[in-house]
């Protein structure tokens, strides 16, 4: 059992030689959590049913009544303690993420670092929730705007970042004075349980239970309740475009707000003056990292015709050296896919790719061993291939050639998604054109770095079918608050705006 020692550090009791069964917040059915590396059951988590949902919502509303009046810097102090707890458990939680989701441990720990970083960011933010003051057109009047908490925020997260995306939402929403109810992916319930335990260790002694709650359950059972619930003014959802469309429609129907961070189809443009080694490293991390299961994963590579064969050769060689295996083994560069369904999607995509005229230059096979392992894959593609427009959540990279930057940008922007993009070049004109209003149409546009691995300090999200929401840094916090404009008359008169005389 030794290899799963990190579970004990996270307060997860194991029985039956590693099997775990414990009542969690719910009284519903049991959900099994599998390790994609060897297909073993790590845990059985008892899920929430409709009755549990009501209790969680009631507790959240009760907590909100007080939390909203706690001074923002005092809320920041609670978040500071959460950040410190994440620091303490960085390695153990990073290992659990790796074991349950399949990303390598270095990336699992990197994910916990994102949780720590956003907590630090939110602590600072708790003293900077600024509103503007305006000059009134009327004498003896003052105008200003202030930002108030929204209420209960529903946070729906995907399996691929089972901790960080929750933290982006939760840390910011907490300093904003909101309370949140988190519905994690049913593929990674144990990571969610472990995080909630860490949260409870901080919140319970402070009697702030109810500020952050966990709602493990299926979309059908509890997800539906959350998105249709008028007590939830904001639903922040991360996942596929399909899921986001459903959430967006349900929330819009009741005139609620949604913050959507959905699929990407991220491209890198490599110009003829790009540093080939940098292109190689950027593409490798972007396309192979997290087994191609980031929303920011590099899916399309546009190569200037003059460098296409050189870069392709280097890439094929580098792909051949990628060590695939157990995500907790320090030598592994690419772990398994999250589950059997993901492997099926990969295989089906390869069938379609071949039918549509794609040429597999490297990979394309499922590994014949226990665990959900596939080969990272490079495909020489044609712009006419329909499948290129889909976000296939797998390590499949499409290569295209181009002659001019204009053509590359047009091809790049021709897909429905608009999350992340990048250009590799040393030419300032190419850089500026790519970043101009006629350049990349994505929410994230990088220069000489890949499409994935964004820092939390910037606003994270994208355009078009990616959903338009922005999470994490910059002024994303405004999505978690309501703006109130105040006009205050300190004179003895009651003049009307626009100079209107009414009944004088």
> How far, in Å, CA of 465 to CA of 295, rounded?
12
Question: Minimum distance from CB of 443 to ligand UN1 (Å)?
Answer: 11
Do residues 189 and 43 touch, judged by C-beta distance below 8 A?
yes
Measured from the CB atom, is 44 or 296 closer to ligand UN1? 296
> Which residues, 6+ apart, have CB-to-CB distance to 334 below 8 Å?
104, 288, 289, 291, 322, 323, 324, 325, 376, 395
Question: Minimum distance from CB of 8 to ligand UN1 (Å)?
Answer: 28
Do residues 159 and 338 touch, judged by C-beta distance below 8 A?
yes
Do residues 445 and 462 touch, judged by C-beta distance below 8 A?
no
97 sits in which H/E element: helix 90-101
Q: Does 161 bind ligand UN1 (CB under 6 A)?
A: yes
Do residues 160 and 293 touch, judged by C-beta distance below 8 A?
yes
Q: Does 176 bind ligand UN1 (CB under 6 A)?
A: no
> How far, in Å, CA of 131 to CA of 108, rounded?
37
Helix axes 105-125, 164-175, angle to 10 degrees: 10
Among the listed ranges 4-12, 123-131, 203-211, 294-302, the one in contact with ligand UN1 (CB under 6 A) is: 294-302
Do residues 105 and 95 touch, judged by C-beta distance below 8 A?
yes
Q: Does 150 bind ligand UN1 (CB under 6 A)?
A: no
**Which of 374, 380, 385 has its CA nearest to residue 352?**
385
Among the listed ranges 96-104, 123-131, 217-225, 291-299, the one in contact with ligand UN1 (CB under 6 A) is: 291-299
* Residues with a known catalytic role: 261, 295
Residue of 47, 105, 160, 425 that binds ligand UN1 (CB under 6 A): 160
Contacts with ligand UN1, 244-283, as mask; x by CB under 6 A:
----------------------------------------
Q: Are strands 41-46 and 21-22 parallel, antiparallel or unpaired?
A: parallel
Question: Minimum distance from CB of 450 to ligand UN1 (Å)?
Answer: 9
> Which residues, 6+ apart, have CB-to-CB distance to 329 below 8 Å?
none
> How far, in Å, CA of 287 to CA of 260, rounded?
23
Among the listed ranges 8-16, 41-49, 158-166, 374-382, the one in contact with ligand UN1 (CB under 6 A) is: 158-166
**337 to 376, contacts with ligand UN1 by CB under 6 A?**
none
**92 to 131, contacts with ligand UN1 by CB under 6 A?**
114
Angle made by CA atoms 141, 147, 150, in degrees to the nearest 5: 135
Residue of 363, 453, 461, 469 that binds ligand UN1 (CB under 6 A): 453
Residue of 89, 183, 294, 470 that binds ligand UN1 (CB under 6 A): 294
Q: What are the residues facing 396 on neighbouring strands?
A: 377
* Burial track 436-465 (b if 16+ CB lie within 10 A, e otherwise): eeebbbbbbbbeebbbbbbebeebbbbebb
Measured from the CB atom, is 107 or 441 closer to ligand UN1? 107
Measured from the CB atom, is 95 or 103 closer to ligand UN1? 103
Question: Minimum distance from CB of 296 to ligand UN1 (Å)?
Answer: 4
Residue closest to ligand UN1, measured at CB: 454
Among the listed ranges 23-31, 160-168, 188-196, 375-383, the one in contact with ligand UN1 (CB under 6 A) is: 160-168
Contacts with ligand UN1, 400-439, as mask; x by CB under 6 A:
----------------------------------------
**Which of 33, 42, 37 has its CA nearest to residue 7?**
42
Q: Applying CB under 6 A, what is the total number of residues that bind ligand UN1? A: 11
> How far, in Å, CA of 73 to CA of 60, rounded?
21
Measured from the CB atom, is 262 or 307 closer to ligand UN1? 262
Measured from the CB atom, is 149 or 467 closer to ligand UN1? 467
Measured from the CB atom, is 336 or 453 closer to ligand UN1? 453
Residue of 454, 459, 479, 481 that binds ligand UN1 (CB under 6 A): 454
Residue of 238, 332, 421, 422 that binds ligand UN1 (CB under 6 A): 238
Measured from the CB atom, is 114 or 375 closer to ligand UN1? 114
Among the listed ranges 208-216, 269-277, 288-296, 382-390, the one in contact with ligand UN1 (CB under 6 A) is: 288-296
> How far, in Å, CA of 157 to CA of 215, rounded?
11
Question: Minimum distance from CB of 237 to ligand UN1 (Å)?
Answer: 11
**Which of 160, 60, 51 has its CA nearest to residue 101?**
160
> Which residues, 6+ apart, have CB-to-CB distance to 66 below 8 Å?
none
Residue of 266, 452, 466, 476 that binds ligand UN1 (CB under 6 A): 452
Measured from the CB atom, is 189 or 263 closer to ligand UN1? 263
> How far, in Å, CA of 318 to CA of 411, rounded?
26
Measured from the CB atom, is 298 or 430 closer to ligand UN1? 298
- Judged by the rule CB under 6 A, the positions of this chain that interact with ligand UN1 are 114, 160-161, 165, 238, 294-296, 452-454
């Amino acid at each position: 059992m030794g290899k799963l020692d990190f579970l004990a550090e996270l307060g997860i009791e194991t029985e039956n030689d590693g099997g775990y069964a414990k009542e969690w917040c719910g009284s519903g059915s049991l959900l099994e959590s599998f390790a994609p590396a060897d297909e073993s059951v790590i845990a059985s988590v008892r899920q929430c049913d409709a009755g549990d949902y009501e209790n969680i919502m009631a507790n959240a509303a009760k907590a909100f009544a007080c939390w909203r009046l706690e001074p923002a810097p005092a809320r920041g102090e609670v978040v500071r303690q959460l950040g410190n707890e994440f620091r303490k458990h960085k390695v153990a939680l990073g290992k659990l993420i790796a074991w349950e989701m399949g990303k390598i441990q270095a990336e699992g720990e990197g994910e916990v670092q994102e949780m720590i970083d956003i907590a630090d960011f939110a602590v600072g933010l708790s003293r900077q929730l600024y509103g503007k003051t305006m000059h009134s057109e009327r004498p003896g009047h003052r105008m200003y705007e202030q930002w108030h908490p929204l209420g209960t925020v529903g946070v729906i997260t995907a399996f691929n970042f089972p901790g960080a995306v929750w933290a982006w939402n939760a840390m910011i929403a907490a300093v904003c004075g909101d309370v949140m109810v988190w519905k994690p992916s049913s593929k990674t319930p144990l990571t969610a349980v472990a995080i909630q335990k860490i949260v409870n260790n901080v919140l319970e002694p402070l009697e702030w239970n109810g500020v952050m709650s966990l709602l493990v359950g299926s979309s059908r059972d509890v997800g539906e309740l959350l998105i249709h619930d008028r007590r939830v003014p904001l639903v922040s959802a991360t996942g596929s475009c399909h899921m986001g469309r459903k959430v967006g429609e349900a929330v819009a129907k009741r005139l609620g707000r949604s913050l959507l961070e959905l699929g990407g189809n991220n491209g890198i443009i490599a110009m003829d003056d790009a540093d080939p080694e940098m292109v190689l490293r950027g593409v490798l991390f972007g396309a192979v990292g997290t087994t191609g299961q980031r929303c920011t994963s590099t899916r399309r590579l546009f190569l200037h015709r003059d460098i296409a064969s050189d870069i392709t050769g280097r890439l094929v060689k580098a792909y051949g050296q990628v060590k695939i295996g157990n995500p907790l083994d320090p030598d592994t560069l690419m772990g398994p896919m999250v589950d059997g369904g993901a492997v099926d999607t990969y295989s089906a995509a390869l069938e379609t790719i071949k039918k549509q005229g794609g040429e597999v230059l490297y990979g394309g096979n499922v590994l014949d061993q226990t665990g959900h392992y596939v080969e990272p894959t490079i495909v020489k593609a044609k712009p006419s291939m329909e499948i290129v427009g889909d976000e296939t959540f797998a390590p499949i990279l499409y290569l295209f050639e181009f002659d001019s930057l204009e053509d590359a940008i047009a091809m790049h922007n021709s897909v429905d998604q608009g999350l992340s993009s990048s250009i590799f070049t040393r030419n300032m004109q190419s850089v500026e054109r790519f970043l101009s209003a006629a350049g990349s149409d994505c929410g994230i546009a990088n220069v000489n770095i890949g499409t994935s691995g964004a820092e939390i300090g910037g606003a994270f999200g994208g355009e078009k079918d990616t959903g338009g929401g922005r999470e994490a840094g910059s002024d994303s916090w405004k999505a978690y608050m309501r703006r109130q404009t105040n006009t205050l008359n300190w004179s003895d008169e009651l003049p009307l705006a626009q100079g209107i005389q009414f009944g004088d």
